């Protein structure tokens, strides 16, 4: 197990009222945020199956996922078992369970917009360690 602290401000400064750049092929890219409140980023996993996920993460706050394009499936440790949740285009999912994701059509082919707090802690463990 490992733990990571995200401290504010945890997002880049950007010029408001204009399109923001999003680099291609990043697993996680924070775009912008509001100090002491939230930050928004794009999540596009490199993994292509649940078998490739060596860790699941759990934050001290919920995260909102909204699939923007492609296919992306979340692996959740919930109710004592591992469950796969394919995201649906444009349908928000509030995630509180330990999780990670994969793109079944190839690395970085699915992209979700993610909203989370500006400051939180994340605990990482192997998927099976969340089941006991």
- Please tell me the distance from the alpha carbon of residue 40 to that of residue 33, in angstroms, as a whole number: 6
The order of strands in the sheet holding 63-69 is 28-34, 38-43, 111-117, 63-69, 92-95
- Please tell me the distance from the alpha carbon of residue 39 to that of residue 36, in angstroms, as a whole number: 9
DSSP 89: B
CB 88 within 8 A of CB 97: no
In a domain, 70, yes or no: yes
In a domain, 47, yes or no: yes
- What's 52's domain CATH number? 2.60.120.10
pLDDT score of 130 = 96
pLDDT score of 26 = 80
Domain range spanning residue 124?
Answer: 2-15+27-130
- Going residue by residue through the chain, which has 132 residues, state the pLDDT in tens, using 9 for 90 and above: 788 777 777 788 888 899 987 777 788 988 989 988 999 999 999 999 999 999 999 999 999 999 999 999 999 999 999 999 999 999 999 999 999 999 999 999 999 999 999 999 999 999 999 997
In a domain, 72, yes or no: yes
pLDDT score of 29 = 87
Q: How many domains does the chain have?
A: 1
pLDDT score of 6 = 74
In a domain, 21, yes or no: no
What's the Rg (C-alpha) of the chain?
Answer: 15
pTM of the model as a whole: 0.90
In a domain, 22, yes or no: no
In a domain, 66, yes or no: yes
Length of the chain: 132
In a domain, 53, yes or no: yes
In a domain, 20, yes or no: no
Q: How far apart are the first and last CA of the chain?
A: 14
């Amino acid at each position: 197990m490992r733990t990571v602290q995200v401290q504010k401000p945890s997002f880049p400064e950007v010029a408001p009222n204009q399109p923001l750049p999003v680099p291609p092929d990043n697993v996680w890219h924070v775009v912008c945020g509001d100090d002491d409140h939230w930050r928004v980023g794009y999540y596009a996993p490199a993994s292509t199956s649940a078998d490739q996920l060596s860790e699941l993460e759990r934050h001290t706050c919920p995260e909102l996922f909204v699939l923007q394009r492609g296919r992306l499936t979340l692996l959740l440790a919930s109710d004592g078992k591992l469950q796969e949740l394919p995201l649906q285009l444009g349908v928000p999912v509030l995630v509180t369970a330990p999780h990670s994701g994969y793109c079944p059509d190839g690395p970085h082919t699915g992209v979700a917009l993610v909203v989370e707090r500006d400051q939180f802690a994340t605990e990482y463990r192997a998927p099976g360690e969340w089941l006991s």
